[in-house]
């Protein structure tokens, strides 16, 4: 059994979606980051950086924080969604790292300024909206040539990126401007495991669709 500490954010949804895709049994522990629960001592014991998500695996005793590390661990544990062939594996990790180092952090800043604090920092709004559009362009170009980010196979790279794109409205992005992102996004949104994982640890809204 896997314990999952999470909340209704893109980073949290990455892990619940993968757990649903893999069919691994897990228990959910909601950590309401809007109420500061990530700073409580019990959660600090499993996530030293006070960030969701985190997991504990009863089978191995492993305790992990950081969503990218968790995705790799779970994919390797189950032998799915992380190819073993040399080039495909590293292509998957390449795009996973792109999400961890670029897509997630910059779209998170877009949420902060465009969704939650509009009008307070025009320079920051312009900067992060422009970067969001650039990142969508990178994603669209990649998906114009490939069904999925790592090639023709759905992997943890797609699972990592998709929840961030599911907040396209917060980023003031029109998916019609990025037709290959839209195609990829809608296809993944139709997966039953994605639909279940999106609503962990609770239902907030339906999956946005363009």
The arithmetic mean of pLDDT across residues 41-56, rounded, is 96
Structural domains of the chain, with CATH:
2-81 (3.40.30.10), 86-191 (1.20.1050.10)
Query: Residue length, the chain?
Result: 210
Q: What is the pTM of this model?
A: 0.97
Q: What pLDDT score does 43 carry?
A: 95
pLDDT tens-digit series, residues 163-179:
999 999 999 999 999 99
Q: What pLDDT score does 49 carry?
A: 97
Give the model's confidence band at 148: pLDDT under 50 very low, under 70 low, under 90 confident, else very high.
very high
Give the model's confidence band at 113: pLDDT under 50 very low, under 70 low, under 90 confident, else very high.
very high
CA–CA separation, 86 and 23 (whole Å): 26
CA–CA separation, 58 and 62 (whole Å): 7
The arithmetic mean of pLDDT across residues 128-140, rounded, is 98
Q: What pLDDT score does 15 carry?
A: 98
**2: enclosing H helix or E strand:** strand 2-6
The arithmetic mean of pLDDT across residues 148-156, rounded, is 98
């Amino acid at each position: 059994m896997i314990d999952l500490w999470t909340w209704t954010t893109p980073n949290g949804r990455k892990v619940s979606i993968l757990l649903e895709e893999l069919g691994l049994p897990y228990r959910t522990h909601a950590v309401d980051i809007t109420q500061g629960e990530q700073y409580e001592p019990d959660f600090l014991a499993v996530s030293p950086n006070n960030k969701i998500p985190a997991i504990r695996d009863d089978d191995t005793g492993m305790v992990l924080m950081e969503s990218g590390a968790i995705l790799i661990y779970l994919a390797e544990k189950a032998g799915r969604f992380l190819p073993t062939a040399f080039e495909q594996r590293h292509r998957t990790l390449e795009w996973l790292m792109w999400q961890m180092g670029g897509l997630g952090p910059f779209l998170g800043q877009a949420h902060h300024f465009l969704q939650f604090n509009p009008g307070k920092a025009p320079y920051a709004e312009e900067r992060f909206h422009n970067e969001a559009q650039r990142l969508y362009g990178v994603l669209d170009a990649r998906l114009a040539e490939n069904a999925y980010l790592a090639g023709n196979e759905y992997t943890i790279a797609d699972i990592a990126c998709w929840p961030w794109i599911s907040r396209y409205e917060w980023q003031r992005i029109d998916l019609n401007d990025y037709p290959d992102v839209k195609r990829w996004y809608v296809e993944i949104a139709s997966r039953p495991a994605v639909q279940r994982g999106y609503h962990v640890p609770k239902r907030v809204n339906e999956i946005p669709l363009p």
